[in-house]
Amino acid sequence: MMRSRLAATMWTAALLLSLLPQPSPAIEVAAYTPDSALLPSRAPVEAPLRVAEALSLDALATFAPAREGAAADLAALAAWNANSRNPTRVGFARALAAPLDLRFEAAEFIARVGRRAGGGLVARRSNGNWVWGTSVEVAEAKALRLELADVDLPPGTRFWAYGMGGEARAFDLRLLREDRSLLSPTIAGDRIYLEVELPAGSVLESQGFSIRRVFEVAVADESELEAGLAVPEADACVQNGECFDAGDFPGIAAARNGVFRALYEDSGFLYTCSGALLNDNDPSTLEPWLLTAHHCIDSQSSALTMDTKFFWRFAGCGSASSSFTYGPLGADLIVTSVVSDVTLARALDPTEVPAGATYLGWTSVRPPDGTVLHRLSHPYLEATQLTQPQMYSTHQLDETPEFICGGVFTPTNYLHSVNLLGTGISKGSSGSPVMLSNGIIVGQLYGACGNDTPLPPPDGCGTDENILDGAFATSYPLLAPYIGTTGPPCIRDADTACLLGGKFKVEVEWTTATNSGTGKVMSFNGERAESAESAFFWFFNSTNFEMGVKMVDACVAPFNRYWVFVSGLTSQEYRVRVTKVSSPTEFNTYFNPLNNLPTTEGDTAAFTCP
């Protein structure tokens, strides 16, 4: 079932600790690979006209190789990765010398069909849709992502990105971020084509977008080379996942189909991490939950730029060739926590999860000391400066390590393990799931650390260092409202707040003398104005607070109820609906009539416990 966009919720460590519910009963969810015939099918989309490519239109902008035009950026990228910084940086933004500010006018389009306009070329489909196309070229780039800024385009606008003669990848306005920018899919090669299609009948009144910069991927994927390179001796612990089978890791088949690589943007740089597709505890739904690390994805802005690869594997144990399938493009941040370095996101479009993908299982129980753990991930090898297809490593849990890693808030929030069998991890593996032998997830990778002496620092390969994974058992109370429920979870989005650990859903409708709509959850500096107990809504302007809702868990004697408080700063009509997620037929509404100045309404008998 498609849902509107989920908005980001940023949590501080102290707040997260206060929000974690009481320990839940042990729960384990099995992996599930749905029958492709039962999956929802994507609506058919016409192929792009590829007007800029077909007519050999000159590029909107042409860049010199980064070694000449962005040498400082290349050096900073290399220094970042060489100094064991996480996550792994693989690219950076390059500014156009002459930025494009394209504004569409219907009359201009009519006059310029088949001609240049705004650095591109205008065409029209037989169905009446307007099409505009252009390209940007960056010499020697490994791959490119184009950023559109100041986006103001009509609903139904569709975009494509593609390389010369390559497969076109469609995307749309669901990727739009709060600052009105969006990032295209990743296109391998040194030239990226953009095509924009506006639906017929669109009212074009100076609508459009800007192109000010392109993101260059400066670190290649192994699959983008004609021939792979041998793993160097310094990274000998990073082992091709195809050299292992069920005899080594009984759950490897499911893991191979559930682990993904994510490329994403944060603050002007591109990064790579690993992650996993998660199953949940509701057999009636198949939500595309994406698990990764907090130090990888910690904002809605970054989540919306996630570009994933599934099934990225070598062709065999001795092979240098590999293949992959693109997975979901863009996700909504559901919840993120520095406490156990965990992030749960939801893919924007469930139909983009490729057929054959496995929704991996998990357990809320911490594994016992000495448990052998397994991992598939997508590391970056510094010696070759290549990111890799699935690599295998195995570790043994050590709950009494010789030393505690600095910067870890509470050791019990992490799984400490040591490498086994000459395997290990490397950068880019961050966020990858660590699993029991049966493929059940028990954590996600934070990184490696070693005792400060002797040097050198840990590289993820040694047996005398700690491999740290955020413990799923610690994360579970935070994730439970979404993946651990027995009914539809409360999903935060633009007009829905989830209070008291997701137990209650809050929605607002407003009415004026001439108009009506839904209240939207406010944001300040990119963070939702929503905590565990309260949320604030706007009606007409995203910077203008209109009303708020607060809930209190008073499920202790003598009260034994959940309380609701509603307060407004408006004379407009509004209706608040608070629903108990575990019992959707149990809800209360709170109403303020039009032209009435509201007072705070307190309902101390709103809902029964628990």
What is the band of 254 on the pLDDT scale with cuts at 50, 70, 90? Answer: very high
The answer on 293 and 201 residing in a single domain is no
The answer on 342 and 405 residing in a single domain is yes
The answer on 363 and 455 residing in a single domain is yes
DSSP string, 459-497: -S--SSEEEEEEEHHHHHHHHHHHHS-SSPPP--BTTBE
User: Taking 80 as the threshold, does the pLDDT of residue 15 lie above it?
Assistant: no
**Distance (Å, whole) CA 236 – CA 116:** 53
- Is the peptide bond prior to 99 cis by the omega test (within 30 degrees of 0)? no
Question: Residue 466 is part of a domain; what is its CATH number?
Answer: 2.40.10.120
User: Taking 50 as the threshold, does the pLDDT of residue 226 lie above it?
Assistant: no
Among the candidates 218, 245, 278, a domain finishes at 218
The answer to whether 391 and 235 are in contact (CB under 8 A) is: no
**Distance (Å, whole) CA 4 – CA 317:** 43
191: containing domain: 51-218
325 in any annotated domain: yes
Strand 61-63 with 130-138, pairing: parallel
35 in any annotated domain: no
The answer on 200 and 261 residing in a single domain is no
The answer on 439 and 359 residing in a single domain is yes
The answer on 578 and 466 residing in a single domain is no
Among the candidates 478, 502, 524, a domain finishes at 478
**Distance (Å, whole) CA 395 – CA 402:** 16
The answer on 230 and 202 residing in a single domain is no
User: If you average pLDDT over residues 172-176, what whole number do you get?
Assistant: 93
User: If you average pLDDT over residues 481-495, what whole number do you get?
Assistant: 75
User: Taking 80 as the threshold, does the pLDDT of residue 511 lie above it?
Assistant: yes
272 Rama class: left (phi>0) / alpha (psi -120 to 50) / beta: beta
SS3 track for 451-468: CCCCCCCCCCCCCCEEEE
The answer on 187 and 162 residing in a single domain is yes
**Distance (Å, whole) CA 240 – CA 252:** 13
- pLDDT over 90, % of the chain: 59
**Distance (Å, whole) CA 210 – CA 445:** 38
485 in any annotated domain: no
Mean pLDDT of the chain: 86
Exposed, middle or buried, 203 (CB in 10 Å: 0-12/13-18/19+)? exposed
**Distance (Å, whole) CA 594 – CA 488:** 33
User: If you average pLDDT over residues 165-187, what whole number do you get?
Assistant: 94
The answer on 395 and 338 residing in a single domain is yes
**Distance (Å, whole) CA 180 – CA 360:** 34
Report residue 87 as tokens: 């996550």
User: One-letter amino acid identity for 48?
Assistant: P
The pLDDT, as a whole number, for residue 6 is 31
The answer on 549 and 456 residing in a single domain is no
The answer to whether 272 and 234 are in contact (CB under 8 A) is: no
Return the sign of the alpha-carbon dihedral for residues 395, 400, 404, 409.
positive
The answer to whether 208 and 138 are in contact (CB under 8 A) is: no
CA–centroid distance for 183 within its chain: 13
36 in any annotated domain: no
282 in any annotated domain: yes
Confirm whether pTM is higher than 0.85. Answer: no
Q: With H, G, I as helix, E, B as strand and everything else as coil, classify residue 260.
A: strand
User: If you average pLDDT over residues 476-503, what whole number do you get?
Assistant: 81
User: If you average pLDDT over residues 421-438, what whole number do you get?
Assistant: 92
Strand partners, 182: 148
User: Taking 90 as the threshold, does the pLDDT of residue 605 lie above it?
Assistant: yes
Return the sign of the alpha-carbon dihedral for residues 385, 390, 392, 395.
positive
The answer to whether 190 and 137 are in contact (CB under 8 A) is: yes
Among the candidates 187, 218, 249, a domain finishes at 218
User: Taking 50 as the threshold, does the pLDDT of residue 225 lie above it?
Assistant: no
Report residue 450 as tokens: 């070693």
**Distance (Å, whole) CA 449 – CA 457:** 8
Strand 182-183 with 220-221, pairing: unpaired
Number of structural domains in the chain: 3
543 in any annotated domain: yes
The answer on 460 and 593 residing in a single domain is no
484 in any annotated domain: no
The answer on 576 and 517 residing in a single domain is yes
Give the closest residue to 429 by CA, choosing from 380, 359, 362.
380
Give the closest residue to 339 by CA, choosing from 402, 388, 261, 410.
410
486 in any annotated domain: no
The pLDDT, as a whole number, for residue 378 is 95
Report residue 520 as tokens: 């939207």
Distant-in-sequence contacts of 112-115, Cβ < 8 A, 24+ apart: none
